[in-house]
Amino acid sequence: AQSVTQLDSQVPVFEEAPVELRCNYSSSVSVYLFWYVQYPNQGLQLLLKYLSGSTLVKGINGFEAEFNKSQTSFHLRKPSVHISDTAEYFCAVIKAVGSNDYKLSFGAGTTVTVRA
Amino acid sequence: EAGVAQSPRYKIIEKRQSVAFWCNPISGHATLYWYQQILGQGPKLLIQFQNNGVVDDSQLPKDRFSAERLKGVDSTLKIQPAKLEDSAVYLCASSFGTGPGNTIYFGEGSWLTVV
């Protein structure tokens, strides 16, 4: 079964500094990849997704991610964070090709804390 | 556009008691999901409905959990009897259809504490 591993459980960062959240996936077939954000006491919100095409994906709130097939990674980046980016971030995957099982599988999450 | 509505937002019960959570998906969304999110972990799919039929309930603990979507719109998730390890956030989500091109929209969650 496909899975994702988020390499950092917590990432503290200063305001206006860049941030990178690492995500690796394991799958022998093509996958679709997603990043979701969960603000405190709220549900999950889609930040961006990779389905096909350009490997650099731009999302909401200034976030972007790059799909790297050779390294099986889908790292999330933002060049300058704000206090309001403090949240939990989840990488997720759906296995593609040859299956009708479009189950979304999540990583364990990365907590980003932005400090002034 | 109204989002996915869930109630109650918070519930505290004693072990062996029962609890029910309600979800109303975004209007027109045929696919409805219930996820369990334990503290410190990512959400785990419990059950997926397509209209009023179950598509996937492979990870639903059927000895104590049940869910229904009788009219293909709103849904109820029930736990009876509850165990301490059921303490989690129960997230309802919906999408227009299945497939990765369909964005899944999540509700704010129902927080369950079993004491």
Is A41 within 8 Å of B107 when comparing Cβ atoms?
no
Specify burial of residue B44 (Cβ count, 10 A radius: 0-12, 13-18, 19+).
middle
pLDDT in tens, A57-73: 999 999 999 999 999 99
CA distance A43 to chain B (A): 4
Please check the confidence at residue A96 and state whether its pLDDT lies above 70: no
Report the percentage of chain B scoring pLDDT > 70. Answer: 99
Contact A29, A98 (CB under 8 A): yes
Of A51, A105, A106, the CB nearest to B101: A51
Structural domain boundaries enclosing A57: 3-115
Average per-residue pLDDT for chain B: 94
Task: Determine the residue among B95, B104, B108 to mutate to test chain A binding: the one whose Cβ has the most chain A Cβ atoms within 10 Å.
Answer: B104
Contact across the interface for A44 and B48, Cβ inside 8 Å: no
Is residue B22 packed enough to be buried (19+ CB in 10 Å), middle (13-18) or exposed (0-12)? middle
For chain B, give every domain's residue range.
5-114
Distance from CA of B56 to the nearest CA of A (A): 9
Residue A9 has pLDDT above 60, yes or no: yes
Predicted confidence (pLDDT) per residue in B35-56, tens digit: 999 998 999 999 999 998 998 8
Chain A: residue nearest B43 by CA?
A106
**Closest-CA residue of chain A to B49:** A103
Number of structural domains chain A divides into: 1
pLDDT value for A97: 47
CB distance B28 to B96 below 8 Å:
yes
* Phi, psi (degrees; rounded to nearest 5) at B85: -75, -5
Mean pLDDT, residues A32-48 taken together = 93
Residue A14 has pLDDT above 60, yes or no: yes
- CA distance linking residue A20 with residue A38, whole number of Å: 17
Percent of chain B with pLDDT over 90: 83
Residues of chain A in contact with residue B45, where contact means CB-CB under 8 angstroms, are: 103-105
Chain A residues whose CB is inside 8 A of the B4 CB are 43
Question: What average pLDDT score do residues A4-8 get?
Answer: 94
Determine which helix (DSSP H) or strand (DSSP E) holds B28, and give its type and residue range. none
pLDDT band at B76 (very low <50, low <70, confident <90, very high): very high
**Bond preceding residue A79 cis, omega within 30 of 0:** no
pLDDT band at B98 (very low <50, low <70, confident <90, very high): confident
User: Which of A10, A104, A105, A110 would you mutate first to test chain B, the one with the most B CBs within 10 A?
Assistant: A104
Q: What pLDDT does residue B1 have?
A: 64
Nearest alpha carbon to residue A37 among A88, A80, A82: A88
Quick check: helix, strand or coil at residue B24? strand
Asked whether residue A98 carries a pLDDT value surpassing 70, the answer given is no
Structure tokens at A108: 């364990």
CATH code that applies to domain B5-114? 2.60.40.10
Instruction: Indicate the residue type of A36.
Output: Y
- In single-letter form, the type of residue at position B15 comes to K
Tell me the residue ranges of DSSP E strands in B10-56.
10-13, 19-24, 31-37, 44-50, 53-56
Rounded distance between C-alpha atoms, residue B29 and residue B8, angstroms: 21
A108 vs A111: CA distance, rounded Å: 10
Task: Give the domain CATH number at A39.
Answer: 2.60.40.10
Query: For B4-33, what is each residue's pLDDT tens digit?
Result: 999 999 999 999 999 999 999 999 999 999
Q: Which residue has the tokens 């933002």?
A: A78
